[in-house]
Amino acid sequence: MNRKTMKPIRSLGLVFIAFLLIHAGCSSPSLYDQWYPIDAKGWHEGSGISFTVPVTDTVNYYDLSIGVRNSSAYKYRNLWLFADLNGPDGKSHRDTFEYFLANNEGRWLGSGSSGLYTSMAKYRSFVRFSRKGNYVFRIEQGMRDSLLTGISNIGLYIVFSGKK
């Protein structure tokens, strides 16, 4: 082959690779991905972070994960959370959730650097929303400290998990 016929083949190959990369990144689209900051002075007992999630899909199933960003100054290896789910029909449900931020040796489980670590833990799997409308997720710290320091952000991530 000469150089003139190689150029279109090479260009077609680059287009194909770009196509694969785009579709590989879109394999599991998120319904919701939001982070909120915690007051720099600390997370007060009883004060919660609320996430309002507009839901239009009542057929498919989703996985719900809670994210935490903590500093190396956080003095515990776990974090107890109260997670409330309030549906558009007025029904509510509360879970108590233990979130591990460090292993038994004290090594942080999340990724990060410069003393700030981000981790994500699955909260619920294969959740199907029964009604369309706004769902409100409220997350409170459930530790014994009235003012919990070392937590900088709380996040909620909802991703498509499939059809049953």
* pLDDT score at 19: 38
Residue 145 class from Cβ within 10 Å (0-12 exposed, 13-18 middle, 19+ buried)?
Answer: middle
Q: Which of 151, 147, 136, 137 is nearest to 79 (CA)?
A: 151
**Tens digit of each residue's pLDDT (9 = 90 or more) over 117-138:** 999 999 999 999 999 999 999 9
Which stretch of 27-41, 77-91, 92-106 has the lowest confidence by average pLDDT?
27-41
* pLDDT score at 28: 57
Instruction: Indicate yes or no: pTM above 0.85.
Output: no
* pLDDT score at 22: 37
Return d(Cα 13, Cα 24) in angstroms, integer.
17
Q: Is 46 within 8 Å of 145 (Cβ atoms)?
A: no
**Tens digit of each residue's pLDDT (9 = 90 or more) over 23-70:** 334 445 788 999 999 999 999 999 999 999 999 999 999 999 999 999
Average pLDDT for the chain: 86
Q: Which CATH number is 29-162's, of 3.90.550.10, 3.40.50.720, 3.40.50.2300, 2.60.120.260?
A: 2.60.120.260
* pLDDT score at 164: 63
